[in-house]
Amino acid sequence: MDNNIFPKQTAFYKGKVRDVYTIGNDYLVMIASDRISAFDVILPRPIPFKGQVLNQIAAMMLGATADICPNWLLSTPAPNAAIGRKCIPFKLEMVVRGHLVGHAWRTYSSGKRVLCGVSMPEGLKENDPFPSPIITPATKAEEGHDEDISREEILEKGLATEKDWEILSRYTLQLFERGKAIAAKHGLILADTKYEFGKIGDTIYLMDEIHTPDSSRYFYADGFEERQKKGERQKQLSKEFVREWLIANNFMGKEGQIVPEMSEDWVKTISERYIELFERVTGETFKPEPLSREETIQRITSALYNLNI
């Protein structure tokens, strides 16, 4: 398939779940596909409307945080497409954690009390809130898994200057506070998430999707305290259920493991869960808008023209 499809297009990159087209030197077109990945592996079947769900949540959240810091987004001409500024990315993911869950809990339960150079207090249970959110950055790996890194190592390796780090940290905590406030309105707790930033000249921009179920973990607020007291599992809103299904079917992305077959019913279930995620996180009714590839390309091309790109 010819991937040179837009006027002034200079490059194309196919990510795990997104197709990225560079327009000239300064702009990107990002199409959120219906591909789904887990354990750094693309699963064999696409999930209907997943791309639309993630693209529309991200666009809404970028709009709701634009007063905190500049972001890359200029237009969403199609349900699963976004046009924005091309930034020089920091090779970092700014991971911020409000609760002891996921990787932080695995580290904590192994007996360690320091993650990415940040101390975690004694006496916490899984899913407990931290006294205040902590930033635990990770390197952006070209291939394979991202790795934990501390502020000191970031400065030492020149991944950010001291001044940049201060701005990145401030933006990260402010964005997380806003994300938590938006979640709270919809009966949710934003437990952890990650942000990616880049630069144009000396200005730092927020890039990529934010506060989506693929990049964040949400708990249901209703009954949270009670479940914590009883030591019960928390109800989560994320793509963790897909990972759990894979683990139950003996797949964790390790060498020699085979991706389990995805039945029609399971694909439909995942699609329905993503739509539920959209409605819960945004408080809006999801309106499926299936477009052909040709229609999507046409809408993007018109938007590029209207933006004088």
- Secondary structure (3-state) at 230: helix
- Residue 242 belongs to some domain of the structure: no
Same domain, 199 and 99: yes
How far apart, in whole angstroms, are the C-alpha atoms of residue 190 and residue 211?
8
Answer yes or no: is pLDDT of 163 > 90.
yes
Same domain, 96 and 228: yes
Q: Are strands 9-14 and 88-89 parallel, antiparallel or unpaired?
A: unpaired
Mean per-residue pLDDT over the chain, rounded? 94
Q: 189: which residues sit within 8 A by CB, 6+ positions away?
A: 98, 99, 180, 183, 218, 219, 220, 221, 224
Q: Please give the average per-residue pLDDT across 155-172, as a whole number.
A: 97
- Rounded to whole angstroms, the maximal C-alpha distance in the chain is 59
User: Containing domain of residue 220, as a range?
Assistant: 89-237
- Residue 251 belongs to some domain of the structure: no
Answer yes or no: is pLDDT of 286 > 70.
yes
**Tokens read off for 309:** 């790109």
Tens of pLDDT along 243-284? 889 999 999 988 899 999 999 999 999 999 999 989 999 999
- Residue 65 belongs to some domain of the structure: yes
Same domain, 22 and 78: yes
Same domain, 183 and 233: yes
Ramachandran bin of 119, using left for φ above 0, alpha for ψ from -120 to 50, beta for the remaining angles: beta
Same domain, 83 and 102: no
Same domain, 125 and 206: yes
What is each CA distance from 53 to 14, 47, 180, 238, in whole angstroms? Answer: 19, 11, 20, 13
Give CA angle at 72 (176, 281), nearest 5°.
Answer: 40
Domain end: 184, 203, 237, which one? 237
Q: What CATH number did the domain enclosing 46 receive?
A: 3.30.200.20
- Residue 256 belongs to some domain of the structure: no
Same domain, 53 and 115: no
Contact 49, 40 (CB under 8 A): no
Which comes out higher in pLDDT, residue 282 or 142? 282
Same domain, 114 and 233: yes
Q: How many domains does the chain have?
A: 2
Answer yes or no: is pLDDT of 1 > 50.
no
Tens of pLDDT along 59-110? 999 999 999 999 999 999 999 999 999 999 999 999 999 999 989 999 999 9
What is each CA distance from 180 to 102, 169, 177, 185, 209, in whole angstroms? Answer: 18, 17, 5, 9, 16
How far apart, in whole angstroms, are the C-alpha atoms of residue 69 and residue 210?
13
Same domain, 96 and 204: yes
- Residue 246 belongs to some domain of the structure: no
Domain end: 189, 220, 237, which one? 237
Contact 32, 76 (CB under 8 A): no
Same domain, 80 and 96: no
Q: What CATH number did the domain enclosing 180 receive?
A: 3.30.470.20
Tens of pLDDT along 5-60? 999 999 999 988 999 999 999 999 999 999 999 888 999 999 999 999 999 999 99
Same domain, 75 and 167: no
Same domain, 45 and 106: no
How far apart, in whole angstroms, are the C-alpha atoms of residue 246 and residue 43?
10
Question: What is the pLDDT at residue 50?
Answer: 96
Q: Strand ranges (DSSP E) for 25-167?
A: 27-32, 37-38, 41-42, 73-78, 81-85, 88-89, 92-99, 114-115, 118-119, 129-135, 138-139
- Residue 2 belongs to some domain of the structure: no
Question: What is the pLDDT at residue 261?
Answer: 94
- Residue 253 belongs to some domain of the structure: no
- Residue 38 belongs to some domain of the structure: yes
